[in-house]
Each structure stands twice: as C-alpha cells, then as structure tokens.
Amino acid sequence: MRVQFFLAVLIISWASYGQSKVWEKDLKNELYEVGWIKQSNEGNIIASGAKGLLAMNHTNGEIIWHNKELKAVDKKTFLNIEGLPFFYVEYSPVVGKTRGIILNSNTGEIVFDTKDEGYRIKNYTTLNDKGVILFELLENKNRKLMSFDIVNTKLNWIIDLGKVGGIFKFFGGSFIDHGPFFPSENNLIIGVKEQIYAIDFAKGTITWNYEARKKVNALVYSDKNNSLYVGVKKSSKLLVLDPTNGNDITPGKLKLRGTLIDVVSDATGNLILVETEGFNIIDPATNKFKWKKSFKIDNLDEVIPHEKGLIAVGKEEKKGEVALVSQEGKKIWNTGVDGYPYYITATSKGILYISTERSNILDFNKGKDVWKRDVKFKSIPAVTFDEEEDKVVLFENEKGYKFDLNSGEINLFAEDVELKSVKRKTPLVAEYIKGEGYLLYTDQHMSLLKPDGTVKYTDYYKPASSVEGLVGVAQLGLAFAGVDLDIKGSLDNIKMLSSLSNGAYRTSEDQTDGTSETSEIVGLYVKGAKDTQWQQVFSVTSKRFFNSKKTKDSQFIVTKVKRDDQPTIHKILKINKKTGEVERSIDLLDKTPNYVIDQVDNIVFLNEKNHLISAHKF
C-alpha cells in the first residue's frame, strides 16, 4: 500500500509538471523562421518571421491573423500603444523605403501606413477626451506631428515642426518640450526647442508661431488670465503672449536678475517665477510682480508651493539650503543642509529632505529637525508602506527604518542586514508582503526582511545572457549643471516617496496582496450632435495590465545554471515571495532564448529553434 501510495504521489507530481505546457505551435510553414515574439496589450502573441507577421491567441495558440507582406520586421521598433489595441512596427520592403505602420493587434488591420513618405514614429500622446493620439514623427531630420482619430482609425492631419539638430534617438523621448496645452477647444499649443506653435486642432494648420533666440526653458499657460508665460534661456525678461494670436502682451516689468529656472503655479492660480537669483509671484490679474523684492536664496534650484508657505531649495555640491517663505515674500525660517539635497518633499509633519550626507524632516514652525537621530542614505532608499503598522519602511545600506507619518518619528528596526550579493549601490525595490514583512528585490535578487528586522531568506540568481521580457529596475545617476554626483537607486523609490508624501499610501503600482479589482484605465466615448448619451467605442480594463502586480504572490526570475561537465542552461523560475522557494521551473533550450512572461495569466511563451512557439502555465 505504501508503495502504491508513493507511486500515486509521484505520478500526480509528474503530471502536474508535465501538464504545464498549455499549447505548442510550429510556425515553420507560416513564417519559416521566427525572429522574435512580443505580446500585445490584450495578450495576443505577435510573431515576426521571414514569411510575414502574425498574431496568435495566447490562450490556445490559434493564429488570429497573418500578414505575409510584413517580412522580417525590425524587433527594436515594436511599440505597444499603451491602453489601446494598437502597436507600431517598421519594416523594409524589397523595393522602396522603410515603412512604419500601426496595426490593430486583434484584427491585423493596418490603420496607418507611412508607405513611401519615410515617416518614422518617435513618440505619442493619447488625448482620451478628444479621441485622438498625437504621434511625433520623423521624416529624415524633419519633425512632424500627426493627429490620429482613434474612433474612426484614420489620419486627421500631419504638420511640419522644423528640423532636428545634432544626434537624435528615435525612441525613448519626446521632441515636444512643453505642452500640449489647450487654451480653447481647437487651439493646441506646444513648445519645441526655441519654437512655440499654435495649431488649429480641427484643421491641422499652424495659426501662429513664435521663435525665440534660444531654447524655451519654461512655457506655462494660465487659464486664470488666458496668458502664456515664456522663459527663454539666458534671457533677462519673462515674456507674456496672447495664446489666440501670439502677440507680446508683457507689461514691461517682468525682468530677470539671473537665469530662469522655471515658472510654476500654486493652488490659487498665481504664478511663481523661479530664477537663480531668487523668486517672486506674478499676479495673473495684472501680470506684475506681487513683491517689491524677490526672495533671494543662494543657488536656488526649485520652489515648492505649500499651504504652509513657499518652500525654496538651494543646492550646491556639498551643501544645501531650505527656506520657508510666506505668501508676502518674508522669510519664516532658513535652514542649512549638509550634502547635496537631491530629494525634497513636503509631508504632514514638515519638509523631508534626502541629501548625499544626511536626511531628516524640518518642522514647519522653525525649520528644526523632527527626527532625533540623523538618517544617512548614500543611495536612494527602497521604500514601501506597512499597512498593519501604518508606517513607511525605508531600507538602505544594511539598515531598515520605520517612519511614522502621524508622529513624524523614525526608528531603526534593522541593522547590519546582510543580503546576498547586495552592495550599497544595488538598486533595491521594496514591496510590503501582508503578514510576512518586506520583500527587497531586483531583477536577479530576492530577500524577505521580517517586521522585527530579521532576514527570513536571501537569494541571488545569476542573470541569463538575455533578460528580454523582464521589467528592468531603472538606475538613477544624477548629474546636474556643475555638479557630478554618484547616486544610484531605483526611480520607483522616488515615485513611492512622492506618493506617500502626498497621502497616497497605495498607488496603482503597489504590489500588495488582496487589492485586486478590475477598473477601466482607457475608454473612448463619443457623442454626436444629436446624441443625448455618450456611446462607448471601446474599453480596455486594468485586468489585462495591472491586476497581476496586486494579486500575485510570486516573482518571475530568469537565471542561468552552470553544471559540472555539462552545458550551462537557462531557466525561468517562479519564486514564492513569502518563502523564497522555487515553485516552478522551465528549462530554456536555446543559448540565447527569446521569451515573453505574461504575469497576468501566469504563462511564459517560448520561441525555440526559431520556429517552435510554446506556452507554459506556471
């Protein structure tokens, strides 16, 4: 009986792993060789090969559509249009110029084709309330702006926005420096380098254009007085333009004493002019300065409007300065800061700063330290929020802190925490695991720190030769004008700090358990002239995109495993966040595997031997 029981368990165990392959599809006939696979917003697998481009249903492997003309599409140009059933790719036909196309990922319909025009899409902005996507295009070195109608999937217009100078990357950044602003329904205003364009949004024509002598550093539209405020690099004057015609309506006294840094608005609609020599408030009713003298602070870098006053921050390489200024331009207090303060934000208990030397909170009354002990972060700390204790958890350089948002107190709860293969500058990200503690992780590392400061587990997995398909942790190397700093960390931690300081303890990027819900993230509704109700054109829900981050209790990691007297193999591991144990493992046969990890449906898609596509359920 015992033997039979053992065999039964073994068979069940073997079956559970054997059945992890959901489907397998050989695309040799359809594509001959599969160069790469990607996943569209809805989950479809897009495969590119020598004999075309096709889409497969990610649940069963069935081919949804196949375009035989789009051969050997460039993988680097693949771009999902966020929240929409569209993606962009480029390919080079046998005859003719490289073409850029936008396809409907569900149907394969080409909704936009550059054909022989030579356009290439660089970036885009979705205007959901207008049912339009603004695409930034390049034609050789000519900038173009395209309005694309999402409702009717058609081109509205394309206009020219001048030439690109110097070295230019096609993806990863926008050439629009300011805007888009809409002073009125059909008046679209954008800033590009030294140019300001006003565009008739309905017709796609430029109604007026302002060209500055140098780059426009600041462009702010105030709906309080329907004015555009323009700050030009190294200019001694702030311009005010009429957005309807571009006329200069500057009153004549908005002179700058230094170099313009920014123009920001406060909660009341007043505009704050920030320059290196100080800052002042512009009264939108008169377009004149409210204060007789600007408030001066050495090396002024930013001004943060707050209900307690205006927070002015000066930054030098080895020291900084934080001042609280009244609405009348009078100093309430001024405090020096050791080191370069690279992060400043207002909290309920005061002004939190993180510098290269120390960190603390300055109270609103006198600018005195709230925390009794200095907190020193040499890199950007990993940040999460403990929902049970109602405290912010910070971890950096082998130390863990708990910050009470209500009392403003900070306590060291973990010291000399040794994590496997983690250095001071390792860009760790933190996640609160309900009932367990705080997950500290990177692409290749996982550790769990318990609420009492002890380590439950810590592991490092050697990276594979390719980590395609995984979301990378962005590292931040800060370099400022005249200041060269070596600060590493994750941009996600800066975002988390900002969210917490604004009272948002749980954001859409949180990965805590038990918060799953399906809500619409992008929906397009239109109403005709005779319609009384809005009609839905399409709706994409967050379930496809974000629920996995809220509900999954596992982490996916790709690693390579060296074996004695045998070739090194690559594996995709599913690791339990609470225990650190490997729950599932899939071997990757190719030395340079091409794969996609679907963290929504717990499936990994493999492209092996350049023609065999398979889906494996975790």
Evaluate whether residue 479 is within a structural domain.
yes
In a domain, 527, yes or no: no
- Stretches in the chain below the pLDDT threshold 70: 1-19, 165-173, 253, 465-552, 589-593
Render 466-530 in DSSP notation, one character per residue.
Answer: --TTSPPPPB---EETTEE-----BHHHHHHHHHHHTT-SS-TT---SS-----EEEEEEE--TT
Q: Do the domain assignments include residue 146?
A: no
- Residue 207, helix vs strand vs coil: strand
Q: What CA–CA distances, in Å, run from 365 to 58, 267, 334?
A: 58, 21, 11
For 111-134, give the DSSP string: EEE-TTS-EEEEEEEEEGGGTEEE
**DSSP at 76:** G
> Is 505 among the domain residues?
yes
Residue 410 has what pLDDT? 85
C-alpha closest to that of 104 among 35, 157, 153: 153
Residue 509 belongs to a domain = yes
Q: Is residue 609 part of a domain?
A: no
540 Cβ neighbours under 8 A, 6+ residues apart = 41, 42, 83, 84, 85, 520, 521, 522, 523
User: Is 319 part of any domain?
Assistant: no
- Domains in the chain: how many in total? 1
Q: Which residue has the tokens 């340079």?
A: 592
Expressed as residue numbers, the domain containing 389 is 382-513
The DSSP 8-state label assigned to residue 533 in this structure reads S
Q: Is residue 196 part of a domain?
A: no
Q: Break the chain down into helix, strand, coil percent, rounded to 5.
A: 10, 50, 45
3-state secondary structure of 445: strand
The residue behind tokens 């390919």 is: 91
Residue 175: closest CA among 145, 131, 211: 145
pLDDT tens by residue, 153-191? 889 999 999 887 654 444 446 889 999 999 999 999 999
Residue given tokens 């910070």 in the structure block: 394
* CA 387/CA 417 separation, integer angstroms: 22
| Dist CA 58 CA 44 (whole Å) | 5
DSSP state of 398: T
Q: Where are the alpha helices (DSSP H) in 270-320?
A: none
pLDDT, position 537: 39
pLDDT digits 0-9 by tens, 66-113: 999 999 898 888 988 877 889 999 988 877 788 889 999 999 999 999
